[in-house]
Structure 1
């Protein structure tokens, strides 16, 4: 397979960038469990005294880029440990809009989520609904293709490439990449020089096997799943970013919950930092714990080693939310016609995270000028 032509590497913005939704709401990464509906999981047992509330409701997706949440919210997980006697009621989401809806309705307090639905929720509420309080993961998305039909970037013309959902993180990334390479695609219909098909992650492998698509821009473990079926990586999204890092999952809290229960948010953030450290120090055990937890979740199935191992390697677990890459991703969405302008100032409140990081003698995380005043 020949290498793709060089791409234009985007430079992170350092000044305030304003962006909001123009048409469809931005979805989350869209690669959760195989369940058709968002489902609650059993409330985790708690021990010790409760914090300022008896219960906290936390959401996440059943996939590798949300492994910090999947592992940390196990009954013996480090997030669970930090919360002490405060019960955790978890809910699995298949797409970001439903998680944002739950948060806006007061049914969810904290969630692991992708960058674009956070932008959507913040912009749609006039900056009143949420704050990004921590990072969780970087990377883990690729353009993988059928080598029999796509041998190089030049072969994308006239081909059918899937993304998980209209306006989701990978959809925006693909549309932006195609635009940079001179391909014209209507952002809403997906029609144009390349056909962009929006297909749920759980359905993409079957579409690939059936020859209905020539490739997909997808996150892990869907990318590794397709490669196990004969696909090849045409482009790792990390190649488009400085240092190969870009936010794929961060942690948001409802603003009202953060105001009323900062100690609970601090416990979750502290658990995230501890869980990420444990994953990075114990990658083999982390894979095993994640896979076991995945198999116990509603609609979840354990992953075979040929999918789990490479998928886990493609994701970096880190505490920094990589705020500048969120800005660039939002700028990309504007350029392809999925976003209009709005003020994102205040989307970040990293005060708790930076306090936790300072205690651990770790570097401070930046907010790209979009922190609370």
Structure 2
């Protein structure tokens, strides 16, 4: 065999082996055969936040609604304080599914080139506000002031920066990031003058620190609806364990139904979880105010995701708008809803590439 022919043969073998490895290890080859249903998973590692905007998750955990539906699948709940941390866990494979803000949810999809995660349900619409000192009454009053969001690149961080750009004051405001509890303390001390926060923290600043609302985020969206919290799952987990994902969704539906039928008991369940997770429960006035600003819903308001992707660019969080086509897979959700005799949820075209 000639040297040239031998080299070509070796190269062909190497390329063939690499291609086989790519398909075997779950690479991005979309032409590969679908993964086979492996039955119920041994465990489900579920992420969530200790916020009222994650009320559906907190109710499901406190009332054991997820565990009931999951049966022999062990539920392993994991608390996060902001979306970017949860994204790292999902992409790193240490988390299977997570309740998360829309901004980090899009980031998880974009960072994996649309491969690693899928949007499978909504959880909460609304529940985020820009709260400010009493002497601030218009956007221009924020010039020279310090405004806080929970974490760089999280849902409220994107919303604030996009709003500041729209008001042409982005470069005149100091934006910083603090954990929500630290923001409350800093606002009380006068170290920060404004904050764009999810519930219950915006309510806590208003009722415990004398803040007032400058912007309620729902005012910025059509019909006052935007996806504050959604449920996403690793694509591989969804393919391998569709029964487990459906069980998780049945638990979520039960949680939202429980909140609708038993508001007082649902609030108590959320408060009990918050006390266990943060060491402090909420006063009744804070609970009532925070609850009034949210809507627990299975609808992820999927039609808003292309705009949210553009907002991340406007905010300077992303260099280009993520292509979110194909992000939503509501098949499992709508299968369960149909079984329960409930109306299906419209993916608004986000399920198509």
TM-score (norm 2): 0.84
Specify the alignment match of 1:221 in structure 2: 200
- Number of residue pairs matched by the alignment: 313
- What whole-Å deviation, never above 9, does each CA across 1:163-205 have from its counterpart, x for those lacking one? 112221111111111222222x2xxxxxx22222222212101
Aligned counterpart in structure 1 of residue 216 of structure 2, from 236, 240, 262: 236
Q: Which runs of 5+ in 1 are unaligned?
A: 1-50, 186-191
Q: Does structure 1 conserve the Cα–Cα contact (< 8 Å) formed by 2:312 and 2:321?
A: no
Match of 1:201 among 180, 194, 200: 180
1:353 alignment counterpart: 333
- 1:208 positional shift: 0.6
Contact 2:310–2:322 (Cα < 8 Å) also in 1 = no
User: In the alignment, what sits opposite 2:23?
Assistant: none
Q: Deviations over 1:212-265 (max 9, x none)?
A: 111111111110110012111111111111111110111111111101000000
Aligned 1:200-349 pairs, distance under 5 A: 200-228=179-207, 229-297=209-277, 299-339=278-318, 340-349=320-329
Q: CA 1:152 to 1:254, structure 2 compared with 1: closer, same or farther past 3 Å?
A: same
- The 8 Å contact of residues 62 and 300 in structure 1, kept in 2 or not, is answered as no
The structure that has the greater radius of gyration is: 2
* Correspondence for 2:141 among 152, 155, 158: 155
Secondary structure (helix, strand or coil) at the match of 2:232 reads strand
Counterparts of 1:1-373 in structure 2, within 5 Å, are: 52-74=40-62, 76-147=63-134, 149-183=135-169, 185=170, 192-228=171-207, 229-297=209-277, 299-339=278-318, 340-371=320-351
SS in 2 for 1:319: coil
Contact 1:137 1:318 in 2 (8 A): yes
Classify the secondary structure of the residue corresponding to 1:341.
coil
Whole-Å separation in 2 of the counterparts to 1:155 and 1:62? 32
Q: Matched residue of 2:264: which SS? A: helix
Cα deviation for residue 369 of structure 1 reads 2.1
Distance 2:279 2:122 in 1: 24
**SS of 2:172's equivalent?**
coil
Looking at structure 1, the residues matched to 87 and 176 of structure 2 have their Cα atoms a distance apart, in angstroms, of 24
Q: Please tell me whether the aligned partners of residues 118 and 327 of structure 2 are also in contact (alpha carbons under 8 angstroms).
A: yes
Aligned mates of 2:88, 2:146 — CA distance in 1: 31
Relative distance call for 1:372 and 1:108 in structure 2 (3 A) is farther
Q: Distance in 2 between matches of 1:343 and 1:326?
A: 10
More helix by share: 2
Which aligned runs of 4 or more in structure 1 are off by greater than 4 angstroms? none
Partner residue, 1:15: none
SS for the counterpart of 1:82 is: helix
Residue matched to 2:18: none
What do you get for the CA RMSD once the two structures are aligned? 1.6
- 1:307 CA drift (Å): 1.6
